[in-house]
Amino acid sequence: MLTQQQLKENVAVAAIDYVLPYLKPDTIIGIGSGSTADLFIDQLAQFKSRFKGTVSSSERSTTRLQSHGIEVFDLNDISHVPVYIDGADEIDAGLHMIKGGGGALTREKIVASVADQFVCIADESKCVDYLGAFPLPVEIIPMAREAVARQMAALGGRPKLREGFTTDNGCQILDVAGLRITDPKALEARVNNIPGVVTCGLFAIAGAGVALISTQTGVEQRKPA
C-alpha cells in the first residue's frame, strides 16, 4: 500500500512527463502552491536548462523555485503561459476544485486564468463526488470579515476566520465548513459577487482541463466528465 506521500511523489513525476513537450528555450510555465506542487518543483529542477522560467502563484513557491536556480518572472511581464501545474484540496469528476488550503487561492486563480491549459495534480484522496467536505476558503478584505461571514452563514456554511494568517495579498481568509456543493459554478459566481470577497477557493467556472490523479495502481489522466 502506497502512502499518501508516495502517491504525491508519483504524480509529481508523471506531471514532469506531461510538461516536457512544453519545455522550450523561450517557454515560461505557471507553477502552483502546496505540498504536491513543491514535489513537482523539485522534479522540475533537473530540467531547468530546457526552458526560460516560471510564473509563481505564491511566495512559498517562488522561494522554492529560486532555491533550485529556476527564474521566476512577474506575470505582468509575460504574454504567454502554455501550461499551469497545481494541486487541489478537492476535485470532482467535472474537474471542478476547491483550492486554497495553503492560502494562495487568489494568485493561483490569476495564474491559472492566463494559462492555455490548467493541469491539476493530486492523489486519489482528493477525489470526491461533491465538493464541500473540505472547508471552502474565501479570501476577504479585512473590514468585510463579519459582513461576508453573515452571507456565508445564510448560504448554509459555518465560516471561521483563519486565525493568525494573512495572505500574500495582505488579506484574511474565512474557511467555510458545512457546504455540500452541488452546483459549484453557480456558488463560485455568487460568493465572488459578495462585496468584500477577493475570490473564493472554488475553481469551477474555469476548472482544470486535465487532471493527473495518483492511485494505488498508477497515475490516471482524467478529463472533465
Residues of the chain under the 50 pLDDT cut = none
The tens digit of pLDDT for each residue in 75-88 reads 999 999 999 999 99
Shared domain for 182 and 98, answered yes or no, is no
The partner residues of 46 in beta bridges, in order of sequence, read none
Measured CA to CA, the distance from residue 89 to residue 194 in angstroms comes to: 23
* 220 in active site: no
Number of domains within the chain:
2
Looking at residue 68, which CATH number applies to its domain? Answer: 3.40.50.1360
Shared domain for 115 and 164, answered yes or no, is no
Shared domain for 84 and 151, answered yes or no, is no
The tens digit of pLDDT for each residue in 110-161 reads 999 999 999 999 999 999 999 999 999 999 999 999 999 999 999 999 999 9
Residue 225 has a pLDDT of 87
Shared domain for 38 and 149, answered yes or no, is no
3-class DSSP state for residue 92? coil
Measured CA to CA, the distance from residue 37 to residue 113 in angstroms comes to: 18
Closest CA to 179 of 138, 121, 207: 138
Shared domain for 55 and 103, answered yes or no, is yes
Flag whether 33 is marked binding: yes
Q: Apex CA 94: angle with CA 100 and CA 190, to 5°?
A: 55
Q: Which domain holds residue 111?
A: 4-128+205-222
Measured CA to CA, the distance from residue 181 to residue 176 in angstroms comes to: 12
Shared domain for 142 and 182, answered yes or no, is yes
Residue 221 has a pLDDT of 98
Shared domain for 118 and 169, answered yes or no, is no
Shared domain for 50 and 83, answered yes or no, is yes
Flag whether 86 is marked binding: yes
pTM (two decimals) = 0.96
Q: Which three cell numbers stand for residue 109?
A: 486563480
Shared domain for 55 and 116, answered yes or no, is yes
Flag whether 102 is marked binding: yes
Shared domain for 102 and 210, answered yes or no, is yes
Catalytic residue from among 108, 124, 146, 188? 108
Closest CA to 87 of 3, 153, 49, 30: 30
